């Protein structure tokens, strides 16, 4: 009898919607996350930053200029300033139509992490959340402390017995992941990598990290790296995988999760 292949096959690769279904809807908005849930994504990815008045909001860039009709750094704006902006029209989803209803306004407003947690809680099926802390060193631990407090409030710092955690925290910053791991060891952490660094060739991910998050560029250039990470006991979540050829490559290599802007197309390619 052939040995059982313990690597995930095409049906067990987790499909993670990067900033929501961000190819189809403005990134990091309720519209994008609702679409990802409708599309059948297994998990949602979001970037978090702190506003000037200490709220965690889902915004990728340091400034709001690219993704809204406003200007300025998230860290210099209060939540009420951000709430007055339109995060949809840059992607053709204007909210300044005549008397937009509250729901259409909300769907392209700034999204707080708390609202995203509520959306996931109300989804009616298991959806995982992959939360990325952005440039946390600027805030000397405040992003992580607020994040931990919020996750504790929602009971997400400890998974139900026997179940995997529905939340994980990702970062390019080892220090950020260390702070999360120290505060809530049951929350898996993902170390994001843009390049293969020498210390990673030795298998040394930061202490406590369970999941490696290499870019697709790393995987293309060093396909054997995936098996090596997995042999060393890590799961492998690859970003950002939109090209069908890259999806095939990742499936062949047995990666554990694909982070993509187009969850619907990827799910269909995987036969789901
Ligand atoms: O999922 C990881 C990926 O999102 C990291 O890059 O710039 O899209 O946040 P970035
Ligand atoms: Ca991200």
CATH number for the domain spanning 131: value is 3.20.20.190
One of 28, 60, 181, 234 is an active-site residue; which one? 60
The H or E element containing residue 9 is none
Q: Is residue 2 part of a domain?
A: no
Q: Which residue has the tokens 């007055």?
A: 84
Q: What pLDDT sits at residue 203?
A: 64
Give me ligand 2 centre to Cα 204, in Å.
22
166-189 pLDDT, tens digit each: 999 999 999 999 999 999 999 999
What is the reported pLDDT for 204?
79
Residue ranges of the chain with pLDDT lower than 50? 1-9
Domain interval for residue 139? 14-269
pLDDT at 137: 64
| Residues whose beta carbon lies within 6 Å of some atom of ligand 1 | 18, 45, 47, 60, 132, 192, 239, 259
**The tokens of 88 are what?**
């949809």
Number of domains in the chain: 1
- Tell me how far the alpha carbon of residue 172 lies from the centroid of ligand 1, in angstroms: 9
| Nearest CA owner, ligand 1 atom 2 | 239
Active site residue 200: no
Instruction: Please state, in angstroms and as integers, the Cα–Cα distance from residue 25 to each residue in 11, 21, 22, 103, following that order.
Output: 25, 6, 5, 15
Q: What is the dihedral of CA 255, 258, 264, 266, to 10 degrees?
A: -50
Preceding amide of 40 cis, omega within 30: no
At 255, give phi and psi (nearest 5°): -65, 160
pLDDT number for residue 2: 40
Q: Compute the distance from residue 48 Cα to the ligand 2 centre, in Å.
A: 8
CA distance linking residue 223 with residue 219, whole number of Å: 5
Instruction: Provide the whole-model pTM.
Output: 0.93
- Any catalytic annotation for residue 18? yes
Query: Closest ligand to 261 CA?
Result: 1
Report if residue 140 sits inside a domain. Answer: yes
The reported pLDDT for the residue numbered 195 is: 84
Q: Which residues are found with C-beta within 5 Å of the ion, ligand 2?
A: 47, 132
CA neighbor of 127 nearest in space, from 137, 138, 115, 119:
119
Best residue among 14, 27, 132, 136 to mutate for probing ligand 1's pocket (most ligand atoms within 8 Å of CB) is: 132
CA 30 vs CA 106, 204, 272: distances in Å: 7, 37, 24
CA-nearest residue for atom 7, ligand 1, is 60
The answer to the question of residue 81 being in a domain is yes
205 within some domain: yes
- How is residue 73 annotated by DSSP? B
- Ligand closest to Cα of 191 equals 1
Assigned domain for 9 exists: no
**Centroid of chain to Cα 45:** 2
Domain membership of residue 6 (yes or no) is no
Q: Is residue 126 part of a domain?
A: yes
270 alpha carbon – ligand 2 mean position (Å): 23
CA atoms within 13 Å, Cβ hemisphere of 119: 24
Separation CA 94–CA 41 (nearest Å): 25
Give me the helix-helix angle, 113-121 and 142-153, nearest 10°: 30
Q: From the candidates 18, 55, 181, 234, which is the catalytic residue?
A: 18
Q: Strands 235-239 and 257-260, how do they pair?
A: parallel
Is 91 a member of any domain?
yes
State how far the Cα of 81 lies from the Cα of 70, in Å rounded to an integer.
9
């Amino acid at each position: 009898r052939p040995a059982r292949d313990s690597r995930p096959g095409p049906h067990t690769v987790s499909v993670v919607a990067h900033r929501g279904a961000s190819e189809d809807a403005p990134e990091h908005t309720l519209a994008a996350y609702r679409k990802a849930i409708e599309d059948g994504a297994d998990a949602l990815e979001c970037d978090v930053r702190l506003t000037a008045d200490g709220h965690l909001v889902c915004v990728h860039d340091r400034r709001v200029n690219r993704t809204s009709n406003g200007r300025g750094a998230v860290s210099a704006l209060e939540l009420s300033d951000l709430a007055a902006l339109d995060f949809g029209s840059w992607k053709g989803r204007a909210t300044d139509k005549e008397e937009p209803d509250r729901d259409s306004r909300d769907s392209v407003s700034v999204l707080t992490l708390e609202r995203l947690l509520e959306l996931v809680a109300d989804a009616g099926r298991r959806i995982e959340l992959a939360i990325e802390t952005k440039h946390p060193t600027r805030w000397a631990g405040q992003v992580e402390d607020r994040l931990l407090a919020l996750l504790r409030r929602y009971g997400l710092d400890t998974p139900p017995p026997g179940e995997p955690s529905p939340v994980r925290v990702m970062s390019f910053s080892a220090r950020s992941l260390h702070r999360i791991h120290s505060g809530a060891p049951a929350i898996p952490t993902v170390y994001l990598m843009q390049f293969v660094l020498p210390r990673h060739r030795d298998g040394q991910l930061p202490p406590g990290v369970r999941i490696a998050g290499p870019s697709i560029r790393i995987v293309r250039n060093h396909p054997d790296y995936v098996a090596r990470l997995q042999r060393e006991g890590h799961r492998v979540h690859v970003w950002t995988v939109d090209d069908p050829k890259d999806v095939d490559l990742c499936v062949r290599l047995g990666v554990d999760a694909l982070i993509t802007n187009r969850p619907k197309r990827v799910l269909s390619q995987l036969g789901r």
